């Protein structure tokens, strides 16, 4: 306190000048309409700018919360898509009774680790068994197929990326519905895939979409995989192999959706029984 008093007494002239100057400015602005209007406009502009910057900062800090909310909303909307249902149709006399039952459900998840530059790439997502995630489930994003779940803990899961030497997805040409298999390109290009085993009588075109087929038990039919980028066959015989530009930019993955096919286990059990009977 003593030091403060010494400081004020030492610079008392400056502080008196400051008080008088501020008082003069207040009186000048208060009793002159033009200056008062100018001051108010300037103050409002400065205040508005400050509020705008504060709002931008607050919005930036809330991006994760907003993205999580959007991902949950997208998952909810995907659960309502017609492709998530199957038709349970029974013909009785001349009346056809059709009831749509849910086949696919979606759980949103945040990507917390990812690789694209290895021969076997994996993705870690922040959802696990406590969230209903199970080994063998398919994983997609807004752009298309991402991979499948291979390991699960209580709160996390490991996804085998489509950029993996063992990844293989049942695919078809969107226009002709001809079936093939999509694999990652041997060149390890994270943007390239290879559509294989398409019958050689098919005449695909550059830019034609390649999507998941009805044979897949991980994904609904019609999920994007990429576009045909090269029609030159890389194989021979009765089948064609063609290059595909993958639809997913794996280096920028932030959110994904884990797909639960409610009929997957029933189908697997039935097909296993068929093989056993053979």
DSSP H helical segments within 127-255, as ranges?
none
Provide the pLDDT confidence category of residue 271 given band limits of 50, 70 and 90.
low
**Topology of the domain comprising 169-247:** Thrombin, subunit H (2.40.10)
255 has a pLDDT exceeding 60? yes
Q: Lowest-pLDDT range, 117-121, 133-137, 225-229, 270-274?
A: 270-274
Contacts of 79 (CB under 8 A, 6+ apart): 102, 104, 105, 106
Helical H segments across the chain, by residue range: 2-10, 12-30, 33-61, 63-80, 264-277
Per-residue pLDDT tens over the stretch 68-126: 656 666 766 666 555 554 444 433 333 333 445 667 888 888 888 999 999 999 999 98
Domain definitions of the chain by residue range = 169-247
Residues 223 and 83: their CA atoms lie apart, in Å, by: 10
Name the pLDDT band for 169 (thresholds 50, 70, 90).
very high
191 confidence band (pLDDT: 50, 70, 90): very high
Q: Does residue 87 contact residue 237 with C-beta atoms inside 8 Å?
A: no
The CA-CA-CA angle for residues 104, 106, 107, to 5°, reads: 150
% of the chain with per-residue pLDDT over 90: 32
Q: Is the dihedral of CA 7, 11, 12, 17 positive or negative?
A: negative
| Cβ atoms within 10 Å of 79's Cβ, excluding its own | 16
Residue 250: what pLDDT?
Answer: 93
Contact assessment for residue 195 and residue 171, using Cβ atoms and an 8 Å cutoff = yes
Name, in order, each residue with C-beta under 8 angstroms of 215's C-beta and a sequence gap of 6 or more.
170, 179
Supply φ then ψ for residue 109, to 5 degrees: -150, 145
pLDDT at 192 over 70: yes
The predicted structure's pLDDT at residue 91 = 37
Nearest to 114 by CA among 225, 218, 212, 255: 255
Which residues, in sequence order, are bridge partners of residue 143? none
Is the pLDDT assigned to residue 38 strictly greater than 80?
Answer: no
**Residues 231, 141: Cα–Cα separation, whole Å:** 27
* Interatomic CA distance for residues 217 and 262, integer angstroms: 10
Q: Comparing 9 with 187, which gets the higher pLDDT?
A: 187
| Residues 244-271 as b or e (16 or more Cβ within 10 Å = b) | bbbbbebeebebbbbbbbeebeeeeeee
The chain-wide mean pLDDT, for the chain, equals 77
> Does residue 183 sit in helix, strand or coil?
strand
Q: Which of 170, 143, 139, 182 is nearest to 157 (CA)?
A: 139
Cα–Cα distance, 109 to 68 (Å, whole number): 8
- pLDDT higher than threshold 70 for residue 35: no
């Amino acid at each position: 306190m003593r030091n403060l008093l010494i400081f004020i007494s030492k610079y008392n002239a400056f502080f008196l000048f400051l008080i008088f100057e501020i008082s003069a400015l207040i009186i000048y602005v208060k009793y002159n309409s033009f200056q008062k209007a100018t001051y108010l406009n300037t103050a409002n502009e400065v205040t508005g700018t400050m509020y705008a910057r504060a709002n931008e900062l607050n919005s930036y800090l809330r991006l994760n919360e907003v993205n999580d909310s959007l991902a949950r909303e997208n998952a909810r909307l995907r659960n309502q898509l017609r492709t998530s249902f199957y038709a349970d149709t029974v013909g009785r006399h001349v009346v056809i009774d059709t009831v749509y039952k849910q086949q696919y459900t979606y759980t949103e998840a945040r990507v917390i680790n990812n690789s694209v530059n290895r021969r076997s790439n994996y993705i870690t997502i922040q959802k696990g068994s406590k969230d209903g995630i199970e080994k063998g489930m398919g994983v997609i994003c807004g752009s298309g197929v991402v991979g499948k779940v291979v390991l699960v803990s209580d709160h996390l899961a490991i996804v085998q990326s489509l950029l993996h030497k063992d990844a293989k997805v049942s695919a078809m040409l969107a226009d002709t519905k001809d079936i093939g298999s999509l694999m990652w390109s041997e060149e390890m290009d994270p943007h390239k895939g290879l559509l294989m085993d398409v019958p050689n009588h098919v005449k695909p075109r550059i830019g034609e979409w390649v999507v998941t087929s009805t044979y897949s038990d991980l994904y609904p039919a019609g999920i994007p995989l990429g576009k045909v980028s090269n029609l030159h066959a890389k194989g021979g015989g009765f089948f064609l192999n063609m290059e595909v530009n993958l639809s997913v930019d794996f280096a920028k993955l932030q959110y994904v959706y884990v797909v639960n096919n409610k009929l997957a286990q029933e189908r697997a059990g039935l097909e296993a029984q068929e093989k056993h009977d053979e």
